[in-house]
Amino acid sequence: MKDQRFIGTGVAVITPFSQNENIDEKSLEQIINKLIYGGVEYLVILGTTGESVTLTSEEKQEVVNIAKETIDGRVPFVLGIGGNNTRELAKQIEKTDFEGIDAILSVSPYYNKPTQN
């Protein structure tokens, strides 16, 4: 990830699903392209608006792959990483290929009161 500031309009992208409840790849590509053609300065993929806390690890990876290929460096890509299970989040971060991702949006665990030690 390069050091940069995010200035202008950023959009938290929804994650579309097909009738059979799978990730709708074609719709996701269309949404991303429409936002970029509309002049957005950066995109947030898998933020809370993108259903990140309800997706499996495999579905998250699918969304990231689609987004990387579709964005293709045209605008900065911010990846949302968050949830309630700190151990699983740490594993997810270790497995994530950050190539093509410009920043992360990290949501701390919510609804849980962590120890203060």
The answer regarding whether domain 10-49+57-107 maps to CATH 3.40.50 reads yes
Question: Residue 117's pLDDT is what?
Answer: 66
pLDDT tens by residue, the chain, 117 residues? 456 678 899 999 999 999 999 999 999 999 999 999 999 999 999 988 888 878 888 999 999 999 999 999 999 999 998 777 778 888 888 888 899 999 998 877 666 666 666
**Four-point Cα dihedral 65, 74, 42, 80, nearest 10:** 20
DSSP string, 39-84: T-SEEEESSGGGTGGGS-HHHHHHHHHHHHHHHTTSS-EEEEEE-S
Q: Where are the domains of the chain?
A: 10-49+57-107
